[in-house]
Amino acid sequence: VEAAVTTIATGLVPWQELILIGTSDALTVRLTEAGNLDLNGELSVGDGTTLTLVWDNTTSKWRETARRN
């Protein structure tokens, strides 16, 4: 089962860091560059996948800084 996500709750402070860690290959999350996400391409978050984002309050977007599949 895969759920698609284009928006994450807004950051609380400028340059707040958010790290997403996948824990399942049976229940994955597909992140796409839309809404408030500024990604380096689409990403399916499964077991062992990590995605690091920072909140850019000037553009109101979560910006990708690192990923590991």
In a 13 Å sphere around the CA of 46, the CA atoms on its Cβ side amount to: 7
| Residues contacting residue 31 through CB under 8 Å, at least 6 positions apart | 5, 6, 37, 39, 42, 43, 44, 45, 51
**Percent of the chain's residues with pLDDT above 70:** 100
Query: Identity (one letter) of the amino acid at 12?
Result: L
| pLDDT the model gives residue 1 | 82
Q: What is the pTM of this model?
A: 0.91
Instruction: Name the percent of the chain in helix, strand, coil, to the closest 5.
Output: 0, 50, 50
